[in-house]
């Protein structure tokens, strides 16, 4: 089955939503629960406000990807929130490498890794080398993806000001935060004598106190175990994070059981706070 057969597009205004495989059914009823699979439900909301585009000047819309495949005894999910001009290549790469019917169990587990996610993002860079020269525009566009295999672990990546945040027992955990801390340490070391040849790494901090990586050619990638403390994952665009920090977002929706209602709550709150960027959110609950 080719990618065109896997992908069904539903358009509302300028917003593109990808719901493929058994994603739509699972959204309503939850995925079929095996003894070793965590039930996964999801919901998303996108605000397509033309007035925001006039002020910000970046992309017209965001796209949302939800795809589920059952291959033998393996259940795989791909989730994504991305600027339509940035994420199509990542989507295609993940679909072709994760949802191959000829893969066995060990191969599927191997491909649901940080390395696969990294290669997916690098594949778009190879196809669009000019993006490297558009740092500010690329940073504002961005994307965030997550792979969930058997409800056991999540591999998430984001670039630009998009972000993946896991709620674990009520506490917001920025996926890939170790990478961010490592980057901060390199930046601080450069200020010390004798480190003049260290590559320059610049950390930006927005008004909510969140660290922002200025370069978008290298995504932040992290792996989180989905144990009993893992409650839900937020994948959201820059329009969410420029007006609220990670813990605020988690606190705002933790009491909402319906993931679609939770996603709507986050996007509407960002709009109320006068966010000037794309406002898109996907919430994945692990029950």
Q: Is the pTM of this model over 0.95?
A: no
Cα(179)–Cα(175) distance, integer angstroms: 9
Average pLDDT, the chain: 75
Q: What is the pLDDT of residue 4?
A: 37
**Residues making up the chain, counted from first to last:** 287
Contact 32, 17 (CB under 8 A): no
Q: What is the pLDDT of residue 10?
A: 34
DSSP 200: P
Structural domains of the chain sorted by starting position, each given as residue range(s) with its CATH number in brackets: 3-174+215-286 (3.60.40.10)
Q: What is the pLDDT of residue 137?
A: 52
The list of the chain residues with pLDDT below 70 reads 1-37, 49-60, 85-87, 125-140, 178-217
Residues 6 or more apart in contact with residue 54 via CB below 8 angstroms: none
Query: Which pair of structure tokens corresponds to residue 62?
Result: 């965001």
Q: Reduced to 3 DSSP states, what percent helix, strand and coil does the chain have, rounded to the nearest 5?
A: 35, 30, 30
Of 89, 46, 91, 39, which Cα lies nearest the Cα of 65?
91
Cα(259)–Cα(264) distance, integer angstroms: 9
Cα(213)–Cα(202) distance, integer angstroms: 7
Query: Reduced to 3 states, what is the DSSP secondary structure of residue 40?
Result: strand
Of 198, 105, 182, 189, which Cα lies nearest the Cα of 149?
105
Cα(87)–Cα(65) distance, integer angstroms: 10
> Would you tell me how many other CB atoms lie within 10 Å of the CB of residue 88?
19
Cα(35)–Cα(114) distance, integer angstroms: 26
Cα(121)–Cα(158) distance, integer angstroms: 9
Residue with tokens 């960002």: 270
Q: What is the pLDDT of residue 24?
A: 42
Q: What is the pLDDT of residue 227?
A: 93
Residue with tokens 């080719």: 2
Q: What is the pLDDT of residue 99?
A: 85
Q: What is the pLDDT of residue 12?
A: 33
The separation between CA 200 and the C-alpha centre of its own chain, rounded to angstroms, equals: 26
Q: What is the pLDDT of residue 25?
A: 38
Query: Reduced to 3 states, what is the DSSP secondary structure of residue 282?
Result: strand
Specify the pairing of strand 15-21 against strand 62-71. Answer: parallel
Specify the pairing of strand 143-149 against strand 74-83. Answer: antiparallel
Task: Report the side by side order of strands in the sheet with 9-12.
Answer: 9-12, 15-21, 62-71, 74-83, 143-149, 153-159, 220-225
> ∠ CA 230-257-237 to the nearest 5 degrees?
70
The values of phi and psi at residue 198, to 5°, are -70, 140
């Amino acid at each position: 089955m080719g990618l065109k057969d896997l992908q069904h597009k539903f358009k509302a205004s300028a917003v593109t939503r990808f719901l493929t495989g058994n994603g739509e059914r699972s959204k309503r009823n939850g995925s079929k629960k095996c003894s070793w699979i965590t039930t996964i439900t999801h919901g998303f909301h996108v605000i397509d406000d033309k007035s925001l585009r006039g002020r910000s000047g970046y992309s017209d819309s965001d796209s949302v990807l939800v795809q589920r495949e059952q291959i033998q005894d393996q259940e795989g999910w791909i989730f994504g929130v991305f600027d339509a001009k940035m994420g199509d290549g990542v989507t295609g790469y993940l679909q072709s490498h994760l949802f191959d019917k000829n893969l066995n169990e060990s191969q599927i587990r191997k491909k649901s890794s940080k390395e696969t996610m990294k290669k997916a993002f690098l594949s778009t860079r190879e196809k669009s080398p000019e993006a490297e020269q558009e740092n500010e525009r690329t940073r504002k566009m961005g994307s965030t993806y997550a792979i969930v295999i058997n409800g056991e672990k999540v591999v998430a990546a984001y670039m630009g000001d998009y972000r993946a945040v896991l709620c674990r027992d009520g506490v917001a955990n920025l996926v890939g935060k170790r990478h961010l801390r490592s980057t901060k340490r390199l930046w601080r070391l450069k200020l010390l004598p004798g480190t003049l040849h260290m590559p320059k790494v610049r950390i930006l901090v927005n008004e909510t106190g969140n660290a922002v990586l200025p370069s978008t050619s290298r995504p932040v990638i992290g792996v989180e175990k989905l144990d009993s403390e893992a409650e839900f994952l937020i994948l959201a665009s820059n329009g969410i994070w420029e007006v609220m920090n990670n813990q605020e977002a988690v606190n705002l929706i933790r009491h909402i059981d319906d993931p679609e209602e939770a996603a709507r709550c986050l996007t509407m709150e960002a709009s109320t706070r006068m966010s000037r960027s794309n406002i898109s959110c996907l919430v994945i609950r692990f029950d």
